[in-house]
Amino acid sequence: MCGIAGLIWKGGVTSDIGSEMTQMLQALKHRGPDSTGFALYGKPDDDVHILRFKVAEQEEMRTGFDIHRQVIERKAAVDTRLEELGAEIIKKDDATEYAFRYLFKFGGDLKRLIDFIEDLDGVEILSVGKGLELIKDLGDATVVSDQYGLKGFKGTHAIGHTRMATESDVDIRSAHPYWAYPFNDVSVVHNGQLTNYWTMRRDLERRGHRFMSNCDSELIAVYIADRIDRGDQLEDAMRLSIDVIDGVFTYLVATADQLGMAKDVMGAKPMVLYESDEFVGLASEEVAIRSIFPREIDTWDPYQGEVKVWAA
C-alpha cells in the first residue's frame, strides 16, 4: 500500500518541517509500518555539500560481532577517499552507529567522487545536496524521527514515505525516498507498482545509471535523473514519465526549490491535495494533512494523468 506525503511553504518561508513531516507520516502509519523515510530541504549554503550515507543495514548490526568493527573501518575508508579526491570535510555527525551526516566542500567532479565512495563495500550514499538531507530507516515515523533527531529541522519543503514492502525486502536500501543519483538535491517517493521495471532498468543501466536496490520505485528517481541529465525541466520529465512508465503510481519529486506530483492515467493510487496562499500539502490520505492543520480545510483529489509543480 505505502503512504506518501509532501509539503512546501511558499515564498521561501521556513518552518519546522522535521516535526511537520513526522506528524504527517505518523498519521499514515497504517498504510505501511515497515520503514519510514524523509527528504528534508533546508536553506542551501552555496559552498557546502551535505552528504548522508550509511555503511551497513540496520539488520546487519544485530548479527555477529565483526560488523561493529567493520562500520568503523568503512567510515574511515570513506574519509580517506573523500580526502584523496580533494574534498574538504567540515563536519562529521554520527546519526546512528551505521549512518552518518557529513558537511564538505568540493569543487571537482561530484559524480566521480560519489562513485569512488560507493565503490567501497557496504557503503551507500543516501543523498548529496546543498539543501537536501535524506533520512530513512526501519520503523514508524516517530521512531525514525527520534532516532535521527529530526524534530526542529528548519526548512522550506519536504517529502516522506511510510512503506509496506511488497516487491522487495524490508531494509534501508529498499526504503524511500530515493535520491536521484548523482544529482544534487533531487529525491522521489512513490506509491504503487511499476510493471515495465526490468525493461526500463536495463535501458537505464546501459546508459550508466546505478541501481542500489531491486525496489521498483528507485526506477522513477533514476528516470527523472536521466531526463534532467538530458536537459529536461522537472515538469517536462514528469509529464513524459506518465506515458513511458507502465503500472499504477502516484509519486512526489522534490528538488532544491520545487515540489512536484504526478499521477498515472488510471488514477489508481490516491492523493489528496491542500493548497493555500502560503502552503501546499499532499498526502495519500487527508488525515495526514489534518495532522498539521486540524481546522476545516478545503481539499481535493488531483485527477488521473495530472502533473503539478510548486516552487518554494
Identify the sign of the CA torsion 282, 286, 291, 297: positive
168 binds another protein (CB under 8 A): no
7 binds another protein (CB under 8 A): no
d(CA 87, CA 103): 10
Binding another protein (rule: CB under 8 A), the pick from 46, 243, 277, 296 is 296
Where are the alpha helices (H) located in 130-250, listed in sequence order? 141-147, 197-206, 218-229, 234-244
Active-site position among 1, 2, 72, 253: 2
CB of 30 to another protein, least distance (A): 9
With a CB cutoff of 8 Å and minimum separation 6, the contacts of 95 are 52, 101, 135, 147, 148, 149
Burial class of residue 294 in the structure, from the number of CB atoms within 10 Å of its CB (0-12 exposed, 13-18 middle, 19+ buried) = exposed
Whats the size of the chain, residue-wise?
A: 312
301 binds another protein (CB under 8 A): yes
Q: Which residues pair with 249 in a beta bridge?
A: 192
CB 248 within 8 A of CB 266: yes
Q: Which is nearer to another protein, 54 or 269 (CB)?
A: 269
Q: Which is nearer to another protein, 123 or 297 (CB)?
A: 297
32 binds another protein (CB under 8 A): no
Residues 250-279 that bind another protein (CB under 8 A): 265-268, 270, 272
CB 201 within 8 A of CB 213: no
**Catalytic (active site) residue 2:** yes
164 binds another protein (CB under 8 A): no
285 binds another protein (CB under 8 A): yes
298 binds another protein (CB under 8 A): yes
Q: Which is nearer to another protein, 25 or 50 (CB)?
A: 25
290 binds another protein (CB under 8 A): yes
Residues annotated as catalytic (active site), given as ranges? 2
Residues that bind another protein (CB under 8 A): 265-268, 270, 272, 285-287, 289-290, 294, 296, 298-301, 303-304
